[in-house]
Amino acid sequence: MTIEELLLAEMRAQVSRTPKTGRRAAWAFGSLADLLLEHGRLFTPASLPASVHRLSPRQCYANAFALATVRPELVYAEGYAVCDYDGDLIHYQHAWCVAEDGTVVDPTWLTPGDAYLGLPIGPRVGAPRFGPGLIHEMSQLAPVLEFGLSDDALVAVGRPAVSLSG
């Protein structure tokens, strides 16, 4: 299995461990993993282009927002990035930017992740200016899980995760 396939398998496992019960039974999505399997996109890892400066460590949401603001050809994205650390896959909630061809432009990490699965967020929805983003802050994520995404919430970049999610 590829790292992308392993990441999607982990998302499917999370969905199976998080049944939609109680009040959440009527929600559009039972969990972030459920949302990512339905609407997430896979992106191609790449080294940071020479034209982009690395930004502050541990500030991925603000960094990605700042970069997307000054480089309108890039799309802000949030989701999970995976790093292979000596054979162990570590999943991080993360934010980055994406070029039109689906290539990751990650202004935060020193080396790119091995796989990226996320939501390329359209300008109407917007990205956080400071602090945690859509997926990290429950006050922002819960309404999306409950009511779903508007038709113009996401930008069509990257590859649909549903094509590999089986």
Boundaries of every domain in the chain: 3-165
Rg (CA), the chain: 15
Tell me if 165 sits within 8 A of 36, measured CB to CB: no
What are the tokens at 2? 């590829």
Q: How far is CA 72 from CA 65, 123, 161, in A?
A: 11, 10, 24
In the sheet that holds 159-160, the strands lie side by side as 104-105, 88-98, 75-85, 115-120, 41-43, 159-160
**Encoded tokens for 22:** 């109680």
What are the φ and ψ backbone dihedral angles of 42, each rounded to 5 degrees? Answer: -100, 140
Separation of alpha carbons 66 and 53, rounded Å:
11
Q: What is the pLDDT along the chain (166 residues), one digit of tens a residue?
A: 899 999 999 999 999 998 788 778 899 999 999 999 999 999 999 999 999 999 999 999 989 989 998 999 999 999 999 998 888 889 999 999 999 999 999 999 999 999 999 999 987 565 555 455 778 788 888 889 999 988 888 999 999 997 554 5
Taking the chain, what is the end-to-end CA distance rounded to the nearest angstrom? 13
pLDDT of residue 122: 83
Give the amino acid at 78. E
